[in-house]
Amino acid sequence: MNFEAMSEKATLAELGRRLQVQRLNANLSQAEVAHKAGVSRRALQNLEGGRIGTVSLLIRVLRVLGMAQQLDALLPETGPSPIQLAKLKGRERQRASGRRKNPTP
């Protein structure tokens, strides 16, 4: 699926649908998952419906469904590039340099 081409609303709807499929495959009701995750059933309904949700809610639900490890695929840990390593001389980068905007006339 090409998430790059999808709107934010469509992406949230697809993620919610996938969570619902995982929950149903685990043979768990919304009430069970909500209780185990420590969230309201309505919050879970909203998440599965592609509506408002938080990252915290998503993490809680993924843990209940045994899918928290999938977060590593979402945002894999990467190190600095070899060029950055050479510039930093072994130190860890602490901040971004930022990009300077060209002044407009």
SS percent in the chain: helix, strand, coil, step 5: 55, 0, 45
Is the confidence at residue 102, as pLDDT, over 90?
no
> Of the CATH numbers 1.10.260.40, 1.10.10.10, 1.10.287.70, 3.20.20.140, which one belongs to the domain with range 3-74?
1.10.260.40
Average pLDDT over residues 8-14: 93
**What pLDDT is attached to residue 98?**
66
CA-wise closest residue to 51 among 11, 95, 102, 91: 11
CA distance 71 to 62: 9
**pLDDT per residue as tens digits for the range 39-95:** 999 999 999 999 988 999 999 999 999 999 999 988 888 877 777 777 766 666 566
pLDDT for res 92: 61
CB 41 within 8 A of CB 31: yes
d(CA 60, CA 33): 9
d(CA 62, CA 97): 35
Residue 105 has pLDDT above 60, yes or no: no
